[in-house]
Amino acid sequence: MPVGGSWSYYAVEFFIINDNWKVLANGRSSSSISPSHFPSGAVPRSTSMAEEQSSGNGVRVCVTGGAGFIGSWLVKKLLQKGYTVHATLRNTGDEEKTRLLRRLVPGAAESGRLVLFEADLYDAATFAPAIAGCQFVFLVATPLRHDATSTKYKSTAEAARDAARVILRLCADAGTVRSVIHTGSMAACSPLREDSTGFKDAVDESCWTPLTVDYPLRSAQYDEYILSKVVSEKELLAYNAGESPAFEVVTVPCSVVAGDTLQGGTTVSLDGVVSPVTRDERQFVALRMLQQLLGSVPLVHVDDVCDALVFCMERRPAMAGRFICAAAYPTIADIVGHFAAKYPHLEILKETEALPSVQAHSDKLGELGFRYKYGMEEILDGSVECAVRFGYLDASKLSLQK
């Protein structure tokens, strides 16, 4: 079963699981860096401490939402590169999540290079201990469901915007932070025109989803999610234009993240990507909604996402601003066509309606030197292999081509 909730609710964000301040390991530091490349469709192997040493030099970084889909992959990559990681979870008593993190790189927790903290976006001040002493802060956690018990916030949008504001203040107060890097969502980057006349010619970083514009399959629940992504990202970016900012803010709106996972099961994004093969109509409808909102179903491999986040941290001179992270912009027809060609013996779900197609005419990350390792085919094939690994698809029926 998928990890992280229903596809219809998450639709584009399908990856982030929030997590939260209580120290679980001693906060001592260590060092290293060695880039890792994980083959599509395979869980990255455990890496020993001796294999990692190279050049993170024990620099402290904070990853909020560290046990989530993207968060766990990012934590592993940072540890392999020699960074000391402060990872936050909402509940440090969740043994499944803490065990996942401690097993990413054997010996990291014991040596003090992985330190777990409990913190919650609905009480953002709790992130202070995790941020303390860090040079870089990765904001991966996001409030996907409103906390009905909250007396402070009426919606996830209110909570997300205030959390962004509080965390920026905490980073400034820490006195050590050099960059804040936010994992955003392309759900906030729709190229729909505000005058309801259709799509712009291309999608780029200037696009902000207009919530006043109607589109097929739109839902009030998803509108709230998009609003939370828009207001929190704008709050973060506004910091760069303030008086004497203490650090740089980078936001990275991610496309549909798929290809593999370190989680204990498939994620909602993986399930959505393979829905033409599984014939899951409900999740296939979510793909259609994405195309109606974004003009495509943009894809990126989780390993490339984390490489991009690290790139934003390590590049000099320091980066600031908004950078979309998408390796490909296929339409539903492109995705279905790939699966139909690979599995001609299967009855693949197909799109019968002519849907709009909008591409990107620029790549800001690429212009700065970042390169994606995985294209559309590798992402789709890796997602299928991942679904097979967790029993979501029957390999014998697929006759997987190697």
DSSP string covering 11-64: TT-TT---------S--------------TTSPPPP--HHHH-SS-TT-EEEEE
Proportion of the chain in helix, strand, coil states, percent, rounded to 5: 40, 10, 50
Please say if 229 is a catalytic residue.
Answer: yes
Which domains are seen in the chain, by residue range? Answer: 7-392 (3.40.50.720)
Give the pLDDT of residue 221: 79
- The model's pTM: 0.86
pLDDT one-digit tens code per residue, 264-273: 998 989 999 9
Predicted confidence at residue 401, as pLDDT, reads 52
pLDDT value at position 151?
66
What distance in Å separates the CA atoms of residue 57 and residue 71, rounded to the nearest whole number? 21
Read off φ and ψ for residue 250, nearest 5 degrees.
-120, 130
Q: Which of 76, 77, 229, 342 is catalytic?
A: 229
Positions of the chain with pLDDT lower than 50, given as ranges: 1-54
DSSP state, residue 123: B
Of the candidates 161, 171, 113, 112, the one whose C-alpha atom is nearest the C-alpha of residue 137 is 171
